[in-house]
Chain A
Amino acid sequence: MASLACRGLRRRPIRSVLVLAGVAVAVFLYCTADAMRSGVERATRSASSETALIVYRQNRFCPFTSQLPQSYERAIARIPGVASVVPVKIVVSNCRASLDVVTFRGVPAKDFATSHAAETSPETMSRWLQRSDSALIGRELAERRKLKPGDRFTAAGVDAYVAGILESETPQDQSSAFVHLSFLQEQAKRGGTGGVVTQFDVRVTDPLKLDEVARAIDKHFANDESPTTTRAETAHVARAATDVIVLVQFAEVLGIAALVAVFALVANAIVLSMRNREMEISVLQTLGFRGMHIGMLVLFEAFLLGSIGGGIGAAFSYGAIALARTAMTMEGVSIAIPPSIAIALTGVAIANVLSLLAGVIPAILASRQTIVMGFRS
């Protein structure tokens, strides 16, 4: 019966190919939209153990305009509950929403080498420390721009030497190029050289005090020349990427609509196929095939359409995301779109379930067809 169902798809090859293509495109859309959703979720999911705060210039929403005196570092460090402070200069190649933005993060070299020692080899870190123009490239960015150690690359007016690749679990780090803070301040030449940073990355001693520390920081600088807005890192990403999140939510709706299209496509294909095969079903029944067999045959054909089309769509989605290594970047905040086997398998599974559902009514009708009526058709 399985063989007969497989052969069934060859009866109308053009129709079958079109249906498979439709299912593949729909599952491709669904998987890609879900990968984007997964990236956003990963970057903005707040955890009760979160200890990271971002101190940003109040009412500024782009690294180009968020300028804070580096001297704030000492004041922030003195606030109770603060474990560490890292002044960060950010330079991006494009401040607007884009899929290929290079984000330079200027960080104090020694502090960074200590805090990120586990994310690259000692040799690489040593090379990065020795050269003031060197950059450690996040894995996502390196793959997207095809960068390897020893390369030079230029973006946003910054020319840097690639010291190595940074293997970080943090989504923001994966799409960034880390350079020495003084080097970036010198290269950027925006808002004066030296002494100005974009933000402070703050760690707190107790996750429960995250909001309390954030309020204390903002209160401390409220009447200063450069007042601040301090948020949890995930909240900062979520705010910066608001537009991207809305787009991703819209893409999700499109993805779900695409799945509805899978249902309609397969149901239509099966109904048309069965309408042309009433006589053949009667022949099978005459040979002794029972209603159950006929129903299974119809369901299996529907399942094949879903699994083959869904498999192709999911594989293309996975391959395209893995190859492109795209990150949605906005206001210097990056949200990587991760390739995910789980999402691909989910896409195929959903296509299978929808295809089976689409085949249920035609299967029931076919299994209940009377032999004589089938021959009269």
Chain B
Amino acid sequence: MHNPDTIIACHNLEKHYERGGEIVHVLESIDLSLARGGFVALMGPSGSGKTTLLNLFAGIDRPTAGSLMVDGQDLTHLSRSQLAQWRAVSIGYVFQLYHLVPVLTAYENVELPLFLHDMSRSERHLRVSEALDAVGITDRHAHYPRQLSGGQEQRVAIARAIVTRPAILLADEPTGDLDRTAAASIMELLGRLHSEKGQTIVMVTHDPATATHAQRLVQLDKGRLVESSMVRS
């Protein structure tokens, strides 16, 4: 039975793949339930399966076994095309290396996911303006990614992720490529999105300082869930 307060629920989730004739167990027997409106940090050493778990939550990778419900949707039974449609509506994804489209301006990068929604030009403009304003980068809307600093690029990437008003914002090491000041600024922004707009955020990080912004810590090691604790309410 789906609990509306639970945004992600997985049971016995496993992810294996074959490399050089050998089966690599990336995730094993993950049982996890995350609440809607929470801010969760997935932590663990390199190779612990954090990013793979995040990718499974985003529907950009498929589990080998187990069940996975995200925002009320059983992802294990969706086709590639259905997963893409679901992502367009439910997921906002922030990459460590921003991954903005280099030939589009900041405005156009943020507008890009809205083309998948049935929206008029003026509606799109309103949404993009709101998103750029929310991340504090309105004055750079006409700049191309190469004309922005790393912190500014990440802000644009966050605006692109939230412009569709997704149920969940997934962030993979969002401060991993930034200096300390820019990283603090991005974390402050994510914190604000969570506290002011009630945005559910699941963030991968290996930095304990970054993880302190989250409400809840989920520790992974060697593909297994080793600890899940509340940092603050």
Interface residues of A (CB under 8 A from B): 1, 3-4, 7-8, 10-11, 279-280, 282-293, 371-372
Contact = CB atoms under 8 A, between A and B. Distances in A.
B99 A283 contact: yes
A1 B101 CA distance: 12
B116 A288 contact: yes
Contacts of B93: 286-287
A289 B84 contact: yes
A288 B101 contact: no
A240 to B, nearest CB: 57
A162 B76 CA distance: 86
B187 interface: no
B102 A290 contact: no
Interface string B56-86: 0010110000000000000000001100110
B104 A372 contact: no
Given A288-B85, A290-B85, A1 B61 contact: no
Given A280-B101, A283-B95, A285-B60, A290 B84 contact: yes
A4 B99 contact: no
Nearest to B117: A288
Contacts of A279: 99
Interface majority SS (helix, strand, loop, mixed), chain A: helix
B103 A291 contact: no
Contacts, number: 63
B113 A287 contact: yes
A140 B115 CA distance: 54
B137 interface: no
Nearest to B102: A11
A283 B115 CA distance: 15
Interface of B: 55, 58, 60-61, 80-81, 84-85, 87-89, 91, 93, 95, 99, 101-104, 108, 112-113, 115-116, 160, 164
A6 to B, nearest CB: 9
Given A285-B60, A287-B160, A372-B61, A4 B101 contact: yes
Contacts of B102: 11
A32 to B, nearest CB: 35
A293 B95 CA distance: 21
Contacts of B85: 288, 290
A16 B96 CA distance: 30
Given A7-B103, A279-B99, A280-B101, A291 B80 contact: yes
B88 A4 contact: no
Contacts of B58: 286
Nearest to A287: B113
A280 B145 CA distance: 14
B108 A288 contact: no
Contacts of B99: 279-280, 283
19 contacts: A1-B115, A7-B101, A11-B102, A279-B99, A284-B101, A285-B60, A285-B84, A286-B60, A287-B88, A287-B112, A287-B160, A288-B89, A288-B91, A288-B164, A289-B88, A291-B84, A293-B116, A371-B60, A372-B61
A253 to B, nearest CB: 39
User: Which 9 pairs from chain A and chain B are nearest by CB?
Assistant: A288-B88, A7-B103, A371-B60, A290-B84, A287-B113, A283-B99, A288-B87, A288-B116, A372-B61
Contacts of A293: 116
B80 A287 contact: no
A280 B101 CA distance: 7
A326 to B, nearest CB: 43
